[in-house]
Chains A and B, each alone.
Chain A
């Protein structure tokens, strides 16, 4: 970049002063942002962290002049985004959550389009293209249609298109959502590179709390308000001395978690493979002496950003979550409930699932892990009987659900990836319909509906249209519908995608207590941390099984160092796999 004028030295890349934004939805005002004030620093990556609905996207749109503030003022590189719109647009790069790639255009054509739109002179393009393509690793794919790229490559292309004209400030709205860990790591490297080489300021929003630690500075946003700004460690230091790792011999991790959750001094207990991670209440510690008569080891561990987040935002009400109790006990059996043998599914010449085999035992939580496009959902849909199989077999409780009798389907529960209940029916109407559809009637129906309403705390929303529910409640309703008929096997397709970390924990509390009662759970996820909650799991990539086993086995087999995370193992696996090809 040529030397910029002196104003760059003095003017902050972004300055918000008392910014508020209100939307009117169905004649009701909704406060998306309330009195937001902060100043962005130059030459670094600042993370805008917050759960879904915190106001991250609204804030970015305000910066680009796509929305008008209700109150307060915004200064982007010293300019007003509305008054000096064209100046701001020329100096700021913005990558929306769903970047506007044209799926039916090739990588090259997309780049040309944005070069044209951003007014990049023809003679500058060659060099810039080469540089960006090289950095993103897209050079071999310039002739491929954007729609045929993997999720990670699409995001990289989006970033490339945003960067064709080098901006001074880069705004990235959740660039890593749904991207596999390898691509995620690469994206981060590109971002770091940009900050170093081109000296730009980057503001990046994310709902992944582990990404906070990759930022130099973090702005924590919750329900439209700024909770704090500072380095990631300045946040996690606030819970210093309250974080512990607990390992119990001879106790099942889920039993142990339940025990911990009931302890007074414990605020949060999270399963991490074989052990548990615990955050204690303010001023409290944990010790192995707290577990008399048990072989329990407790180590203090350094705090993470996520610990602070949970400790600050988890309310008493949410603590522990409500445990689910089913009415009818499930018969234990040793045989595998789900058996998948040489499963293949092709779409035309494309093989989505390529000779996959695994089995799931009764009462297990079984994870199907992989990035978008790995073949998880295709496998999942074949298991549920929603998609015909090309070859091989998959049996649930000894049956192929596609040909099994309707009655057999009443033994399974199903929760789809995106909210898929009737949006314009009320919560009560949805419950009633699905209860009847599963053949519950009379007193039994009434009892089960009552159970669902009280277990999932749906009382206040009974007459609300389910499409209007807050995200967390939508997910509760979906789970309630999947459980009302007390299935033996529960299928969950990316149940926590897009849900904030607190709701995710609550959700897993429910799942854990179901598994304890003998329900077999098959869950797909792209959150690596959720793999730790599973008893066993498989990792998929490009339709193949890369690994199979317990979380510990997978981590041990695929990492060279102690204390590796599931994400490390996953990256190792993918890289190894790529080298093999």
Chain B
């Protein structure tokens, strides 16, 4: 009995494998889709504002204004554009030619010399709130630096009682690519794992081969394993490509150990496969399965996993919802392992959640899969 079971499993695996290698679309999803998505996301999504066009309006030049304005030119974040009047600058802001205006009024120099604390006006285009915030932050930094520099030069006592010293851990260059690429990998693993598996069982139903499989003595476990193992291999291929591209094309550091990254990825891949199988036990047509996989796994992995939009920024209700999304745990593990290193509490906590979801979905799949044609 045991031997027969192995035979059946071997037969299924070989069959799936032959089908994979003869169907170019499966290979395309496993090999080309990761490359395509990584390139699109890796290059297309960036939250780092650099060379932001900034209008500079100085109504009356003087020593202080020139020194202040000078500090913008040396900054990599900004491309200053000098403008004659505030009206001109406001128009440029409206037409999205510049993202902000630094405006020094004609009284600036005079008031500065008279120690009257003249204002530097910063006007940003709030339409893109995120960019606006970043511009504000950069300008604040420049302003604070300039104040200290002025104080040192003039030999005056401190101007700011408290001086901010920031230490950004794990990503001192603040490159958004470094946290986006691990997220992209999670999205790709979801797509390969869930979409492909959701389709393969639906395909057996559509082509009528399922009825024949059901009248062999194959057990549910054998059938599921027979499907899982080859597609697991395919998922690993996609994973390897993604990891290599992340490391060598996008130059994301890998501070954690490769073994743990692989182990966590294997765990997540199994969960994704289980979700795909679950969808396929409900949907008997490839079309419905594909739609369900998109809406049920891909979109949440995209929006609710913390991949682009930080979960910490979401309202509490939505944050609660994200706990149901397997991708969120994997994104957390990957971001930590790539950028921070082997931090066990993070890895273990999230892995436990993944393990739970995996067991849950596999149990559901086994319970829902029956060996007859009765509709449930």
Indicate if the CB atoms of A100 and B212 lie closer than 8 Å. yes
Indicate if the CB atoms of A105 and B19 lie closer than 8 Å. yes
Indicate if the CB atoms of B18 and A116 lie closer than 8 Å. no
Q: Which segment, of A107-115, A350-358, A532-540, faces chain B?
A: A107-115
CB distance from B189 to the nearest CB of A (A): 26
Indicate if the CB atoms of B208 and A68 lie closer than 8 Å. no
Q: Mark B349-376, 1 if CB is under 8 A from A, else 0.
A: 0000000000000000000000111100
Q: Which segment, of A26-34, A88-96, A278-286, faces chain B?
A: A88-96
Which of B11, B204, B210, B215 has most chain A Cβ within 10 Å? Answer: B215
User: Given the complex of chains A and B, what is the CA–CA distance between A174 and B15 in angstroms?
Assistant: 26
Q: Mark B1-33, 1 if CB is under 8 A from A, else 0.
A: 000100110111011001100110000000000
Indicate if the CB atoms of B215 and A66 lie closer than 8 Å. yes
User: Given the complex of chains A and B, what is the CA–CA distance between A46 and B207 in angstroms?
Assistant: 28
Indicate if the CB atoms of B15 and A68 lie closer than 8 Å. no
| Secondary structure call for the B interface | helix
Indicate if the CB atoms of B218 and A100 lie closer than 8 Å. no
Indicate if the CB atoms of B211 and A105 lie closer than 8 Å. no
Q: Mark A112-141, 1 if CB is under 8 A from B, else 0.
A: 111111110000000000000000000000
Question: Which residues of chain A in 74-116 are interfacial with respect to chain B, using CB atoms and an 8 Å cutoff?
Answer: 85-86, 89-90, 92, 94, 96-105, 109, 112-116
CB distance from B320 to the nearest CB of A (A): 36
CB distance from B349 to the nearest CB of A (A): 42
| Secondary structure call for the A interface | loop
A67 interface hit (Cβ, 8 Å): yes
Q: A67-B372, A102-B19, A109-B15 are in contact. Are A119 and B4 (CB under 8 A)?
A: yes
Indicate if the CB atoms of A104 and B23 lie closer than 8 Å. yes
Which residues of B sit under 8 angstroms from A61, Cβ to Cβ? 211, 373
Which residues of B sit under 8 angstroms from A467, Cβ to Cβ? none
A64 interface hit (Cβ, 8 Å): yes
Question: Which residues of chain B in 210-249 are interfacial with respect to chain A, using CB atoms and an 8 Å cutoff?
Answer: 210-218
Which residues of A sit under 8 angstroms from B373, Cβ to Cβ? 61, 66-67
CB distance from A14 to the nearest CB of B (A): 15
Indicate if the CB atoms of B217 and A119 lie closer than 8 Å. yes
Which residues of A sit under 8 angstroms from B8, Cβ to Cβ? 116-117, 119
Q: A66-B372, A89-B216, A113-B11 are in contact. Are A100 and B211 (CB under 8 A)?
A: yes
Interface size of A in residues (CB-CB distance below 8 Å): 31
Pick from A98, A105, A117: contact of B12, CB under 8 Å: A117
Indicate if the CB atoms of A113 and B211 lie closer than 8 Å. no
B209 interface hit (Cβ, 8 Å): yes
A166 interface hit (Cβ, 8 Å): no
A65 interface hit (Cβ, 8 Å): yes
User: Given the complex of chains A and B, what is the CA–CA distance between A96 and B207 in angstroms?
Assistant: 12
Which residues of B sit under 8 angstroms from A101, Cβ to Cβ? 209
User: Given the complex of chains A and B, what is the CA–CA distance between A366 and B207 in angstroms?
Assistant: 34
Which residues of B sit under 8 angstroms from A67, Cβ to Cβ? 372-374
Which residues of B sit under 8 angstroms from A112, Cβ to Cβ? 11, 14
Which residues of B sit under 8 angstroms from A115, Cβ to Cβ? 11
Which residues of A sit under 8 angstroms from B18, Cβ to Cβ? 102, 104-105, 109
| B residues adjacent to A (C-beta < 8 A) | 4, 7-8, 10-12, 14-15, 18-19, 22-23, 204, 207-218, 371-374
| A residues adjacent to B (C-beta < 8 A) | 61, 64-68, 85-86, 89-90, 92, 94, 96-105, 109, 112-119
Given contacts A64-B214, A100-B211, A114-B11, 13 further A-B contacts (CB under 8 A): A61-B211, A61-B373, A85-B371, A86-B217, A92-B215, A100-B204, A101-B209, A102-B15, A104-B18, A113-B15, A116-B11, A117-B216, A117-B217
- Provide a sorted-by-A list of 9 A–B residue pairs whose CB atoms are within 8 angstroms: A68-B372, A98-B207, A98-B211, A100-B207, A100-B213, A114-B216, A116-B14, A117-B11, A117-B218
| 7 closest cross-chain pairs (CB), A and B | A116-B11, A100-B212, A100-B209, A98-B208, A119-B4, A117-B216, A104-B22
